Structure 1
Amino acid sequence: MNVSEVFTMGGKRGKNILLFLAFVGPALLAFSFIVLIPFLSGIYYAFTDWNGVTGNVQWVGLDNFITLFTEDKQFLTSFWITTKYTIVAILLTNFVGFSLALLVTRGLKLRNVFRTAFFLPNLIGGLILGFIWQFIFTKGFVSIGNLTGIDFFNLSWLGDANTAFWGIVIVSVWQGAGYIMIIYIAALQNVPQELIEAARMDGANSWQVLKNITLPLVAPAFTICLFLTISWSFKIFDVNLSLTGGGPFKSTEMLALNIYTEAFVNNRYGLGEAKALIFFIVVATITTIQVMYTKSKEVEA
């Protein structure tokens, strides 16, 4: 290899580095300032007693974490409420989303209209959605109940702990099912129709086709949708804030709202960051286990 070839290779390598920096650099810089640096600083503040306002930051070690598990009963209550909500929301959102996907992939003339209608709630911001449904629960349902006399509509939807919880579930499923539907539609459209036709010729009914052919072939979509719904459900904040505000009497205060209240309302930023760090570890662990488990099922399928 002569000198000119060495310089040529060096020039190509430098050009590739410049191209890489030109395309990836801005995104990496934005990610560092918006996500990475705040995340690392948050870890530091989790071990301090900073109030989020003054410049007085005192290192307290593990005191914040000890406080969470020994004195802060509302944190543990919010953790339980969030866990219960997450389980319900995951099951219902995926069930409704998959059912809608099955419906609109049939030979319906208005299937495109239905797809658009089912997806539209996802385009509405969570805060706006919460306020809209707050009006529906407090005004719309009452009017329907007075006209029809049906007790279901006369329930105190946002004034009772149990019905307020289910109110949040209804709004979240209504918003998220359309997005999940799109992912399932893409998976269902890739299922080979000749397999389904062959199974029907062999006498398989609709349930047998769904169970033995469709579900195994759309397993990758289930992996994605479970990951998304777990992440969404654990991190729910805007709907919780605008619909119930954590009420009545903090009976529907999810973990994200509890962290927000601790850090920015009670001005205990260090304690709020400690909660957020525990929250991150739990969500990261659960989603990692879920992805590994469902991916293994894809291989088996």
Structure 2
Amino acid sequence: MTKALTKYFPIFAGPTLIAFLIAFVVPFFMGLYLSFTDFTTLTDAEWVGFQNYQDALGERSGFISALGFTALVSAISIITVNLGAFTLAYMLTRKLRGTNVFRAVFFMPNLIGGIVLGYTWQVMLNSILQRWGHTIVNDWKLGLAGLVLIVNWQLMGYMMIIYIAGLQNVPPELIEAAQIDGAGRWQTLRNVTLPMIMPSITICLFLTLANTFKMFDQNLALTNGAPLKQTQMAALNIVEAMYEKVGHEGVAQAQAVIFFLIVSAIALIQLRATRSKEVDA
């Protein structure tokens, strides 16, 4: 069996590996090289060393403030999305009527594109805020609240499905044993259910972190960084530097590399921390 798998591995895995090399590995290393150059096209790149990284982290680029705002949106969203998703999942795994309908309804927002979602919520929120003489771009706090609201509305249903799968895999005998020992609902949830669904928690935290940190289209459609770039997230800042600022292509590429390293480091720390708390069923 092992020999057969080894023999046919290149046939089945080869196309995927080639596509991965072309679509990710090669562009990544090309981008890494270009982050050390001054370029407008791939053929006129001129080596400038770490100058792009110095400019990327400079005050004029606005990248550091964009990173700070991104971290704020992500921190709030990770907590609210996962608490809300787990609460919904816990409720929908009880013996209630119509749970399949509710699951489908809560999951549907995840199917809507970010641009459509951003403009739709912009219209709805502005129609409410204008009664008090405000719009979503009058105050960065309103923009922050709007972005967090969009993230919750879009991701909560998706994370709910993952939590439901985790809750349904908790062995019933463990719950029964805890109840026989006199544990209440909260004690059972804290000491039995949560440890058993840690793999689901790991996945949901990772997906929420990744989706919020790299959020671009919702940010573009809802606020486009207004007012005064105060609600500009890191991905939008990078795109603006690449396509709207002449001669900043190398700086934008350096920002993208820094952003990749930061998100990767945070994701690895999160995965390591949550996986260490997983238990075997």
Alignment partner, residue 78 of structure 1: 66
Q: 1:290 Cα deviation (Å)?
A: 1.1
CA distance in 2, matches of 1:58, 1:202: 71
Say whether 1:21 aligns with 2:1.
no
SS of structure 2 residue aligned to 1:38: helix
Identify the match of residue 123 of structure 1 among 111, 117, 124.
Answer: 111
Alignment partner of 1:48 is 2:28: no
Give the TM-score, by structure 2 length: 0.92
**What's the CA shift for 1:292?**
1.1
What secondary structure sits across from 1:220 in the alignment? helix
Which of 197, 211, 223 is equivalent to 1:232?
Answer: 211
Deviation string 1:149-204 (CA, Å, 9 cap, x unpaired) is: xx6xx753332111111100100111011111111000000112222233234332
Tell me how far apart the structure 2 counterparts of residues 96 and 161 of structure 1 sit (CA, whole Å).
24
The root-mean-square deviation of aligned C-alpha atoms, in Å, is 2.1
For each residue in 1:227-266, what CA deviation from the matched residue of structure 2 results, as whole angstroms up to 9, or x when unmatched?
1111111111111111111112111100011011111221
For 1:54 and 1:106, the matched residues in 2 are separated by: 57
Say whether 1:287 aligns with 2:243. no
**SS in structure 2 of the partner of residue 107 of structure 1:** coil
**C-alpha distance in 2 between matches for 1:138 and 1:241:** 16
Q: 1:205 to 1:60 in 2, by over 3 A?
A: same
User: How far apart in 2 are the matches of 1:69 and 1:16?
Assistant: 49
Identity rate, percent: 43
Aligned partner of 2:161 in structure 1 is 182
Q: Which residue of 2 aligns with 1:275?
A: 255
- Runs of 5+ in structure 2 lacking a partner? none
TM-superposed CA distance for 1:17, in Å, is: 5.9
Alignment counterpart, residue 240 of structure 2, candidates 261, 267, 270: 261
Tell me by how many angstroms 1:71 deviates: 4.2
Distance (Å, rounded) in 2 between the aligned partners of 1:56 and 1:270: 12
* 1:198-241 Cα distance to aligned partner (Å, 9 max, x none): 32343322211111111111111111111111111111111111
* Superposition TM-score, scaled by structure 1 size: 0.87
**Cα distance in 2, alignment partners of residues 117 and 158 from structure 1:** 30
Secondary structure of the corresponding residue to residue 278 of structure 2 = helix
Distance 1:155 1:114 in 2: 34
Count matched residues.
Answer: 279
Give the letter aligned to residue 166 of structure 1.
Answer: A
Residues 138 and 158 in structure 1, CA contact (< 8 A), matched pair in contact too: no
Task: Note the residue ranges of structure 1 that are not aligned, 5 or more in a row.
Answer: 1-11
> Which residue in the other structure is 1:105 paired with?
93
> Is contact 2:82-2:159 (8 Å) kept?
yes
Q: Does 1:198 align with 2:177?
A: yes
- Give the whole-Å Cα distance in 1 for the aligned partners of 2:237 and 2:135: 24
